[in-house]
Amino acid sequence: MREISVVITMDCEPSTATSHPRATGPRDWAMGERAVLGYAAIARSYGFPCTFFVHPETILAQADLFRALEREGHCVGLHMHPWKYSFWRHEGERYRAHFGDLSEAEATALLAEASALFHEAMGRPPLWFRPGTFSANDASFRVLAALGFRGGSVSAPERVYRETRSVWSGCEPDPHRAHATFRQIAGDLPFGNMPLSADLSRILTAPNGRRMPADFRPDTDWPGQYGVSYRAIAENILAQVRQRDPAVPVLNAISHNMFEYRDPADPVCQRFKVMLDELSGACERAGVKPVGTTVADIAERALRVAPPEEEFAYI
C-alpha cells in the first residue's frame, strides 16, 4: 500500500434553539459557522478537503455557506437525527425516534421530506448520508439506495450504543457496497458505505456503559479520559487497514459543528491539530502517502468493487 485516502468529516447539527435544550449542537448559527469554517481551514492546511453531513434545518439556515464550501471542493451531504428534526418540523411528535428506530416506511417518508429541503437549499438532491450517532437498522441501506443516495458514512465498527440503536459489532470495517437485508456485511446494493475508522485493538467502555473503540475524533479527549494517545490511535488504525489490505483503503475522521475551531486556544481545536499531526506522522513513518478526498470519491470507488462471493455456512 503506497497511498491511503483521508476523509475529514463533520456532522453539522442544528442550533439548540431550533431543536431541544438537551440536544447536541451549536448554541447559535454564528457558532456553527465559525466551527465549519475553522475546521475546513485547518483540514485544508494539511491538504485535506472536508465532507460535511448537514442537518435539514442547518442546510436551510446556512445554504450560502455550504454552497460556497462545495464550490471550493468540499463535499456536502445530508445528516439526520429524526427526533431533532421532529422538534423543528413536527412539534416533537411525528419522528420522536433515532434513525434505527424507524420502520422502512417511516425512514422513507422522513428522508424524502428532508431531501426536498436539502434540494431547496443546495439546488440538487442529497447523494451522501450519515445518520446521527450512526443509528441504523437492517432496512436503512435499502431505503437509502431506493431514494437515490449513492453512498455515505453510516456505520461505526464495534460501536454498541443500544439506547440510540447504534449497534455495529462485527460489521465490515472498510468501504463496501451495502447489503440489502443485513447491515453488518457487504452486499450488492448501489450504495457505497464508508465506515468510521476505528482502532479495533481495544474496545473501550464509557461511564454510561456505551462501548466503542477509539477513533479519529477530536471531540473526545482520548488521552485524558481513556489514556489512549492520538499517536497510538493513528498507528494502530493505519496498521490494521494495511493488514486487511482492502480494495478502498481509507482513514475517516469525524467531528461536530459545536466547537470553536477558529480559536487556537480551544482544547478541541488543539486536539484536532494533534490528531492530524499524528495521522500524517503515522503515514510518513509507514511510507504511505495520505491523499485527501471526500465521501463522494470513496463511495464511488466502493461501488466499483465487485460484490463479495460468500460460501453458505452449513452449520
DSSP assignment of 30-57: HHHHHHHHHHHHHHHHTT--EEEEE-HH
Position 309 scores a pLDDT of: 84
Could you tell me if 144 and 194 are in contact, meaning their C-beta atoms sit under 8 angstroms apart?
no
- Which residues on neighbouring strands pair with residue 205, listed in sequence order? 211
pLDDT tens, residue order, the chain (315 aa): 899 999 999 999 999 988 777 889 999 999 999 999 999 999 999 999 999 999 999 999 999 999 999 999 999 999 999 999 987 777 767 888 999 999 999 999 999 999 999 999 999 999 999 999 999 999 999 999 999 999 999 999 999 999 999 999 999 999 999 999 999 999 999 999 999 999 999 999 998 999 999 999 999 999 999 999 999 999 999 999 999 999 999 999 999 999 999 999 999 999 999 999 999 999 999 999 999 999 999 999 999 998 888 888 998
Position 92 scores a pLDDT of: 65
Q: Which three cell numbers stand for residue 272?
A: 484536532
Element housing 108 (H / E): helix 104-122
Position 87 scores a pLDDT of: 78
Tell how far CA 212 is from the center of its chain.
Answer: 15
Position 88 scores a pLDDT of: 79
The model carries a pTM of: 0.96
Could you tell me if 130 and 77 are in contact, meaning their C-beta atoms sit under 8 angstroms apart?
yes
Could you tell me if 295 and 128 are in contact, meaning their C-beta atoms sit under 8 angstroms apart?
yes
For 277, other C-beta atoms within 10 Å of its C-beta total 14
For 191, other C-beta atoms within 10 Å of its C-beta total 29
Q: Which CATH class, in words, describes the domain spanning 3-303?
A: alpha beta
Q: Where do the domains of the chain lie? A: 3-303
| 230-244 vs 267-286: helix crossing angle, rounded to 10 | 40
